[in-house]
Every structure is written in C-alpha cells, then in structure tokens.
Amino acid sequence: MQTHEIRRRFLDHFVRAGHTEVPSASLILADPNLLFVNAGMVQFVPFFLGQQTPPWDLATSVQKCVRTGDIENVGITTRHNTFFQMAGNFSFGQYFKRGAIEHAWSLLTDSVEDGGYGFDPERLWATVYYDDDEAAQIWRETGIPDERLQRRGMADNYWSMGIPGPCGPSSEIYYDRGPEFGVDGGPEADEDRYLEIWNLVFMQNERGEGISKDDFEILGPLPRQNIDTGLGIERVAFLLQGVDNVYETDLLRPIIERAEQVTGRTYGVSAEDDVRFRVIADHARTGAMLIADGVNPGNDGRGYVLRRLLRRIVRSARLLGAEQPVMGTFMKDVSELMAPSYPELATDFARIETVAVGEETAFLKTLSTGSTLFENTADAVRAEGGTTIPGSEAFTLHDTYGFPIDLTLEMAAEAGLAVDEDGFRSLMAEQRKRAKDDANARKHAHADLTIYKELLDRGATEFTGFDELTSEANVLALIAEGVRVPVATEGHDVEVILDRSPLYAESGGQIADRGTITASGLRLRVNDVQKIAKQLWVHKATVEQGQITEGDVVLAQADPAWRSGATQGHSGTHMVHAALRQVLGPNAVQAGSLNKPGYLRFDFNWQGQLSEQQRADIEAVSNDAVGADFPVNTFVTDLPKAKQMGAMALFGENYGDEVRVVEIGGRFSMELCGGTHVRHSSQIGPITVLGESSVGSGVRRVEAFVGLDSYRYLAKERALLAGVASSLKVPSEEVPGRVEQLVERLKVAEKELERTKMAAVLSSASSFVDQAERFGSVLLVAVAAPEGVAAGDLRTLATDIKGRFGTDPAVVVLLGTVEGKVPFVVAVNKGAQELGFRAGELVSSFGPSIEGRGGGKPEMAQGAGSQPSGIPQGLAAVRARVAELAG
C-alpha cells in the first residue's frame, strides 16, 4: 500500500466516523517554544486548554512535522525521520478512551477491501500507563489479551509537550515484526522488533513546570476530557510495504536510487555508505518541506537547522563520490514524490530549487575555503613536529567555517595526521549544552488566553476600517494586568475590547493604527492594536481623560494621517514586490515585510547582491506603476480560485477558506492581503529605494520611502549634492565626474606613498644584515622593525634580508609595532632548514613574551601579538633558542 493511499485511508476512516478533516498547519507556527511543529496536536492546543472553543467537536488531520533534536543519528536507526507525517484524530469533550481505542483498532484491523489497513490482530500489542485499569480493560474487550498488554511508567506512557500545558496518560499500539528482528518480550524488551505505530493520548490534565518526561507536577484536570492521537504514516508504510526501514518506503527509496546514480555507489553494500544514502533521502525531503513553508537557510534558529540539513546532503553526496552539484536533482525528485499530498511542492518548485541550489553553491565555496584553512593548519602542525591536529582547530573549522568534521578526519588521514577527536567532541558537547540550556531558558508555558475565551465565543470583532475611519462601538470588556476590570480611570493603561473597530490590528507586515476612543468626557489614546486568535481586536490604550466602563458606547477613530501613510507604505510594498518580479524574475518571492507610514521594507528570496542597474530598474518600474494611476481593487473569494487567478500568497501563512485579494492594475500586482490600501496607485506618491542588503543566506532586503517621506529624503539628498557641488566649484551634474577624478588622484597618491614607504623599509635591510649574530654556523637577525611597518611589509623585508645571506644558514626574526599590536615574521633559508630550524617552531620561543600566536610553513611563519612591552624579552628568547639549536 502506497504512502499517499495510507494517508487518504486514515482521513476517510475518521471522516466517515463524523470527524471534520482539518488541513495540516504550516511547519512554522507563532510559538516561542517550537522551532517547528513537531506533533499533530500543536495547532489544537488552545482547544485542549479550554482557552478557545473549537469550531468542531471531532477533527482529523495529517500534520506535517519536523523533529531535529538529534540530526546526527538520522539514518542510523530504522524508524526515525526528521520530517514525518503524523495522522491524528481529536475529540474535544466527546468520546474518550473507549472511542479512541475502538476507532484505532477498527482502522488497523479492518480488511483492505473495507477501507482498513488489514493488520493481523495477533501481531498487535498495546501499552498503557501503569495504573490505567480502564484503558487496560477496554483493550481486553477489544481483542488484545493480557499477554500482549504491558503497563509502563510516566516516561513511556504519559504524554505532554515538555512544557506546561495539556497532558495525560497514553496507550501505545505496537506491531510485532517477528523474531528475525529481535527478542521476545513485547515493547518493554525490544522496540525495534515491536514497532510503535500509534499513540493514543487521553488528554485529561494540565501539567506544571518540569525538566524531564517524568518530573513535573500535575496541576489538575482540564476543563473537559479530550482525545489526541498520533499515527506515524511513515512507520505504517514500511510495515505495509514489506521493507526493512522507513528509508526504503515508496517516498524515500527513489531518492536513494537517484543518489546511487549521481554517486556511483550502491545502497546495501556498506553500512557506512547506507547511513549517507539515508541522510540524503531524509534531509532532501525535510529541506524541501521547510523551504515550501517559508524557511530560508541562515545562521540561527530555523534557518540554521535548514542550513545544516542541506549541507549534510552535499557532504554525504561528496563522501559517496559525487563530483557535480546534486541539490537540484534531489529537490526535483522530492517534489514529484510528495506533490500528490502537498501540491505546493510542484507549484512552488522553482523557488524551492533556487533556495536549495543557492545553499549548495555557498557550501561548496565553504568547502573550498575550509580545505585551504585545513592545509594551513596541517602545515603548522607538521612545522612544529606534531602529528595531531588539535581538537580546538577542528572545532574552529567546523563551528566558524562550517567545515564538516568527517572531512577533516578524512583529509587528516590523507596527510598522515591524526585529529584530537576527544577534544573536538568535548567542545561540541559544551556547545550543545549551551544551546540546550538556552533553549530551555526560552521555553515557557503557552500564553494564557483563557481570559479572552468568553469574548471569542461571542464572535469576531467587526473590522470597519476598510470603509470608514470612525465607528460607533460597544465596550465589551476591559482588561488590566491580565484581569477583567469593570472600569478604568485617568492615567491607567487598559486593553479595550470593542464589538467593532475601524483601527487596523497589526498583521501581514502592516503595523497597527494609532487613534482614539472617545465619548462625552472620555478620551483614550490607542497605542497599539493586536489580534487574539485572528478574531478579536485588542486595543491597548491609555486613559487620558475621564473613565471608561464596560458596556459604554464609544467612538473609535483611526488617526487619519497615520492611516494615510500606512496605506501608502502597504500599497508601495505590493508595487515593489511586483517590480522585483518583473526585474529579477518569478523566483524573487516575498520572505517578509514591514510597512508603516512613509516607509517600507521588503525581504525576498534571492542569491547574491543586486546590481546598481537592477536597483534602479526596480525603482523605475515601481514609479511607472505609480504614475499609471492604476485602480486598486479588493475582493473576497475562495482560496483555490484566488490561486487559480494567480494571486500571490505569503509562504508559511495559514489562510482560511475565504481570502481577500488586493489587485493593482489588473495583473500588475495581485496578492492575498488583509491590509489597508490606497484607492489608486498615484496616491502612493514617489517611491525612493534607499538600499538593498543581505539579511541571511538567500534573503535580501529592499528598503524605501514613499509619499512625503520620499519627497523629504530627496530634498535632503539634493541639499547634500548642492553642498558638494559648491565645495568642488562645479555644477551639480558634474559632481560624479569630479569626485571620480579626485578618487583616482588619491589612489595614485596612495600608491606613490606606498612605494616611498617600501623603499624606506627596504633601505634598512643592509643595516639589519650588518647586525646579524652568529651562533655556530647559523646567522641570526632578530630585531625590532621600525614602528608602523605593517605585517605585509615585514614579510617583504624579511624575505629580502634572508636572500642577502645566499647559501649561508640564516634565520630572520622581525617584530614590529603597529597601533599597539605586534606583527611578526620568521624566515628560515634552506641552509638553516637543513640544520633543523623551522620557522613555526621558533614562534613558540618568543610568542609568550608578546602574547602572540602564529604559524606557517618551515621556511616562513607569521602572526601577531598584543604586548609591545614584551618585544625585548621575546628577542632575547629567540636568541637563546637559536643558540640552543645551533649547539
């Protein structure tokens, strides 16, 4: 049975049983505790906690999930993926343990002809929480005898999210794969033979703080008993498809086969290679799914996880023998395999491919740089007579430069060197501990929205701001410091909930309106407006005059000037987005935005810096559209129809069944958007692009002024230009040419100054040679160079001095002083090398005196210190060392 069929059968089974099919949430949710959605119930947490009323009593979904807690072990076990599909059925106060168990049993054991999975009931086992006699009895009645029923403790059979929130005892269903896969004894004895396929959570309690699976306080019962279950689609697939592990199922094995083609290696021959093949298959799928939901490679958070995954693909492919780029091929395979369940992978493939290939290109450059750094490190180790690369150096290559440890190990072996793996692992463990501690410090209970539940149950706030700036409204509630209050008086901050409001609540990149709430003798200044559950407008305000009481009838007004500027900024953002796509192509897709009165910034997916011409073209296309005075139309339609029309959606955003479309100039710009906009494009005013910059790997940012702010900026720039023109005594239009002439003259003067400086430095070479000291057959020049001689000049000077000694064994040590630093160079000619002198080894003799470090090859080493006062001591130390080596 194919994976897509397994998925469909699950949903159909529960829809027939009265459940509502709920689409998967994005892998990215606004939850500070989660990098990614990691369980099927995450989007339902407010319903379990009783903070919101669910729109359905029974639900079913197949949720996209990503778990990355132990990426290094992917491919080693037979049952773990970073991306997986968690099928679940959910009951909000309806059926409980019996219903959950009976629904699961029927789907698993019903025949294929009857819509089930057709599992042999004799091979199914169940576990229950150690004191859950009720669940145990239901299992006995359902068909599992005592000998296939095991009781386990809190660590195994009591579920929570690891943070304060809903929790409860669970019952897990296992399938016995047979004696060839492990020992007898049920799940307690062997969880490879007895494979967990479904977890039924009897959500009935709320947990408190704690640090482990079985160390937390049970605060008390939830408002009602709920059911949350999770069936692993991939695990069921590898059982029903008769393969040995999840990597050999129909959605992953084809990627392994593609990896065989591009690497020339064969899966199933080498255990080490098999792990690499599985890493490629697993990470390629996870990477594509994350990019599809709006994640871009970066250096922290979600972006860093994606970067690690993509780079592990490249690394694994290279270790398997691939010599050409591979990412585009793997992304194409993933898209074709997964699109039947996730069509966005096909419709958005061009962007997914661009992001993934861009990261591969960047990493290949990193590998090239890392190889050079490794060679320098290896040379320094050999120069000092060592045979082992320090763990700290291997860690720096990995952590700072992204150079994989397994490549370091491989290259070290080829160079005849070892690596201090224990030291490296120790530093990695320290880093992981810091990261884990930091993550734990950021975890906290889900925001308690219970106080808003009654208000949410009454219905959504009516937003009137598309048609008017002033609306009469009723005060539904007042909240101060998290508590409902009947009244708020002058000087106090208060959250005001109205039944209707013209003030825009922050969302979609547009910041909230500012405005007022007034009545006779009453005035509140509205400082911010936020949404609760995308339905309830919360006005954060300060009472400036009088007192406000729950039940009052008030007048809510958005600041007209603020709203006008905000609409200019938001509509301007749409214009810049459309212009970017015209100039750069369809892969320049929105990755985020912010707009406020007079200003916008727009983040988009793109590899590499934009040229000056591209920036100019984007500004020109935007302003041409402004000048065209395009009409701005908005309408509401269903999501499929909007997409069919070509409306752009923000990746990672969850949209409802009905969406609002903003259309500017027909097909010039068409986006899904809930923000406020101008009525004609000319009302945006001029758009002035301020600049373009990087905000992470594969993401660029354009910033611009609009309207009067654009005029003010241009006026300021004109005044600056006029001032420069006056200083240069040329007309404004001749300023660029005049500045270019001055810059060229400055470059010529700097080069001449450099030549003069170098000549002065080299003129001192003869006097240094005359100061050479003899130690046995070796001549030593160990001197302090004139102050201000930079490292590059020291190297030139040392090379010149060394050359003047001909074939006589000679060592040159020059220490300089530049702005409190001590650059140094050590040069050893061939004659001295034959006597055993090594430049890198000599650094260790004087380095401590100047608090310096350095390295290099036997004939040349350089570096810098930070203690100029130690120069005399350092020179004395190197003389002593040369004397010792010379005998």
Pairwise CA distance, residues 324 & 361, whole Å: 11
Closest CA to 130 of 151, 150, 148: 151
Beta bridge pairs of residue 549: 487
Write out the DSSP string of 442-456.
H--PPP--HHHHHHH
Closest CA to 393 of 406, 374, 410, 407: 374
Closest CA to 281 of 202, 334, 353: 334
Pairwise CA distance, residues 672 & 678, whole Å: 16
8 Å CB contact between 617 and 583: yes
State phi, psi for 117 to the nearest 5 degrees. Answer: -95, -15
8 Å CB contact between 696 and 296: yes
Question: Per the annotation, does 167 bind a ligand?
Answer: no
Amino acid symbol at 885: L
Helix (H, G, I), strand (E, B) or coil at 760: helix
8 Å CB contact between 708 and 561: no
Give the max Cα distance, the chain. Answer: 103
Determine which helix (DSSP H) or strand (DSSP E) holds 305, and give its type and residue range: helix 301-319
Task: Please give the structure tokens belonging to residue 367.
Answer: 């590998």
Question: Per the annotation, does 570 bind a ligand?
Answer: yes
Pairwise CA distance, residues 662 & 268, whole Å: 54
Closest CA to 96 of 1, 166, 11, 200: 200
Pairwise CA distance, residues 672 & 655, whole Å: 9
Side-chain half-sphere CA neighbours of 413 within 13 A: 6
Question: Per the annotation, does 677 bind a ligand?
Answer: yes
8 Å CB contact between 568 and 707: yes
Question: Per the annotation, does 13 bind a ligand?
Answer: no
Side-chain half-sphere CA neighbours of 103 within 13 A: 30
Beta bridge pairs of residue 648: 671
Q: How far is CA 443 from CA 136, 161, 436, 438, 497, in A?
A: 34, 11, 11, 9, 29
Give the 3-state DSSP-derived string for 584-603, with helices as H, strands as E and coil as C: HCCCCCEEEEEEECCEEEEE
Determine which helix (DSSP H) or strand (DSSP E) holds 98, and give its type and residue range: helix 97-109
CB atoms within 10 A of CB 350: 12
Cite the annotated binding site by residue number: 570, 574, 673, 677
Cite the annotated binding site for Zn(2+) by residue number: 570, 574, 673, 677
